[in-house]
Structure 1
Amino acid sequence: MSAVSAADGVLLSQATSAVEAAGDVLRERHTPRSRGVGLTEIVAEIHANDAAVLDVLKDPLLASRPGSRWAEDELAGGALPGGEWWVVDPAEGNINHVHGMADWAVTATLVRDNRPVLAVVHLPLSGDTYTALAGAGAALNGEPLRTSDKTDLGAALTGTGQAKPGEDEHLFRRMGESVTAMLINGLVVRVSVPATLQLIHVAAGRMDAFWQFSDVRSGLVAGALLVSEAGGTVTDIQGAPWTLASRDFLAAAPGIHQAASRVLATTT
């Protein structure tokens, strides 16, 4: 292991410890029932989850990489200024958490000059931790991940979902059209949130593709690195290389990526 990769390995261990400790906090806040009926109550619970997790996550991550900065708005998109940034979702799938469901996680990704180079996704209820280092592969609890070997889109299990509430009507209609197109050309489509919880399945070969009409970084960067390091293909919908500046997103097993892109590109 080179000096640089050894340093990144140490950093990955530190980040994993921090994310898993934060996951303990979020697990303690989980209940098997919905917390809140009205929108005001739900939003308050979401913000309380975020605050509780950040109290134990932000400082350790920043300390693990002196000079790194923090991307404050988890719903923001687009490219970041140069240098190293932590892009974190303290409760990825927060809406599921406050409704008593199990599909949520804590994620942290180090973005270096607008490229994700390290990612940790921890699922507190199962205890599973997904990790990736650029150029060094992706793993689940230390065991290597590999994307699906599918080559037939007609046999593919795919997925999508909205990135955040309040998107414009055109985007919602495009989402609907894309689901219809993939239902016609694929096998089964899952429509759910959050993105990361579908992208870990793509990285592990359990699903074959995920797409989203969004540039919300915190929902995409960890999964993008996991999928690419597991051997998958990550682009925009048209098939161009994905970057933080891309307006949409497609991650797929290599054998079906081109076909998925061709189908999705018909929706405008």
Structure 2
Amino acid sequence: MIVSTTHPAAAGNPADRDLLPPVTAAVHAAGAQLLQRFAASSVPRASLGEVVAAIHANDDAALAVLRDALMAARPGAGWIEDELEGGALPPGEWWIADPVEGNINHVHGMADWGVTATLVRDNLPVLTVAHVPLSGKTYAAVRGGGAFADGVALRPSAKTDLGAAMVATGQARPGEDSLTYRRIGQSVTAMLEAALVVRVTVPATFQLALVAGGQMDAFWQHSQVRSGLVAGALLVEEAGGSVTDLHGRPWSLASEDFLACAPGLRHAAVATLSALA
């Protein structure tokens, strides 16, 4: 579905909102390529080498469509080659895209995967489109213009009791250090004691889309990968949710960890997680 610039999502920077149709077309085209590969990708892999090869083949197929389209939509913007990188960027505009976010799910025949593209300006995400090909759902946000799923405005949960909350976390990338793994485990234990239900899953963007839409109440992550957080961070923020680090400070690309939640749960979530950060 192409997001219409006559929709309320058209608020915000006019130059950014005009990018919504070509960016949406680009992620849809990449998603169509991945759908063609999905049945074959559901065949179980017997070794790590086979899994990695399938992941790279998916990336190549989607990038062949996605990269040229995004660079044509915004000539002069930079392109981030390594989707697993983190940290602040040099000044200016950059495309942060994940051609197959949740690629590990795709190659195992699972449904939770998609394509994301986010324009970052001076380290601030200003436009994002995230597409889930199997369901056909498309999430979009322009800074100052709200967040939408297929044209319907997103709003976070109204919950104020962490004990009634469904929350989630996941690892940012394979091969994290042992301290990060320990923190993930400790944070899951802390949330199992504080929240109603805890999920541990990937990818981050589509968990964050659920936070933006109120189906889930919080998502946190120790460590970070830019491509897994910028799209969802903008969706949650524009929906009216809270986006901080685990100490409750404003989140940025330079932050070492991440928390997005319903605004009424911010203080309780920070209190639960900050001692483990």
Normalising by the smaller structure, the TM-score range is over 0.9
1: distance between equivalents of 2:250 and 2:206? 22
In the TM superposition, structure 1's runs of 4+ consecutive aligned residues that sit over 3 Å from their partners are 1-4
Query: Pick from 21, 32, 44: which aligns with 2:53?
Result: 44
Query: Pick from 43, 64, 68: which aligns with 1:59?
Result: 68
Task: Output aligned runs, 1:68-87, within 5 Å.
Answer: 68-87=77-96
Match status 1:164 vs 2:187 = no
Query: Pick from 11, 16, 19: which aligns with 1:8?
Result: 16
Supply the RMSD in Å over aligned alpha carbons: 1.4
1:121 equivalent in structure 2: 130
Measured against aligned partners, the alpha-carbon deviations of 1:165-193 in whole angstroms (never above 9, x if no partner) come to 11011111110100010110110000001
Match status 1:148 vs 2:136 = no
2: distance between equivalents of 1:66 and 1:3? 23
Q: What TM-score do the two structures reach when normalised by structure 1?
A: 0.97
Cα deviation for residue 35 of structure 1 reads: 4.3
Cα 1:4–1:129, aligned 2, differ >3 Å: closer, same or farther? closer
Query: Pick from 255, 262, 267: which aligns with 2:271?
Result: 262
Match status 1:177 vs 2:186 = yes
Cα deviation for residue 214 of structure 1 reads: 1.6
Cα deviation for residue 263 of structure 1 reads: 0.2
Whether the aligned pair in 1 keeps the contact of 2:12 and 2:142 (CA below 8 Å) is no
Whether the aligned pair in 2 keeps the contact of 1:215 and 1:245 (CA below 8 Å) is no
Task: Output aligned runs, 1:180-259, within 5 Å.
Answer: 180-259=189-268
2: distance between equivalents of 1:37 and 1:262? 43
Cα deviation for residue 87 of structure 1 reads: 0.3
Cα deviation for residue 235 of structure 1 reads: 0.4
Cα deviation for residue 3 of structure 1 reads: 10
Match status 1:132 vs 2:128 = no
Q: Which amino acid in 1 is paired with 2:112? A: D
Q: Which amino acid in 2 is paired with 1:81? A: P
Cα deviation for residue 6 of structure 1 reads: 2.8
Name the SS for the 1:130 alignment partner: strand
Unpaired runs of at least 5, structure 2: 1-5
Whether the aligned pair in 2 keeps the contact of 1:157 and 1:187 (CA below 8 Å) is yes
Whether the aligned pair in 2 keeps the contact of 1:120 and 1:132 (CA below 8 Å) is yes
Whether the aligned pair in 1 keeps the contact of 2:246 and 2:257 (CA below 8 Å) is yes
Measured against aligned partners, the alpha-carbon deviations of 1:144-183 in whole angstroms (never above 9, x if no partner) come to 0000000100100000001111101111111010001011
Whether the aligned pair in 1 keeps the contact of 2:157 and 2:211 (CA below 8 Å) is yes
Name the SS for the 1:265 alignment partner: helix
Cα deviation for residue 4 of structure 1 reads: 7.3
1: distance between equivalents of 2:164 and 2:11? 44
Match status 1:20 vs 2:28 = yes
Q: Which amino acid in 2 is paired with 1:226? A: L
Measured against aligned partners, the alpha-carbon deviations of 1:104-134 in whole angstroms (never above 9, x if no partner) come to 0100000000000001100000000000000
Q: Which amino acid in 1 is paired with 2:173? A: K
Q: Which amino acid in 1 is paired with 2:20? A: L
Measured against aligned partners, the alpha-carbon deviations of 1:178-231 in whole angstroms (never above 9, x if no partner) come to 001011011000000111121110011000000000221000000000000000
Q: What TM-score do the two structures reach when normalised by structure 2?
A: 0.94
Measured against aligned partners, the alpha-carbon deviations of 1:76-122 in whole angstroms (never above 9, x if no partner) come to 00000010000000000000000010010100000000000001100
- Report the count of equivalent residues: 268
Cα deviation for residue 5 of structure 1 reads: 2.8
Match status 1:94 vs 2:94 = no
Name the SS for the 1:242 alignment partner: coil
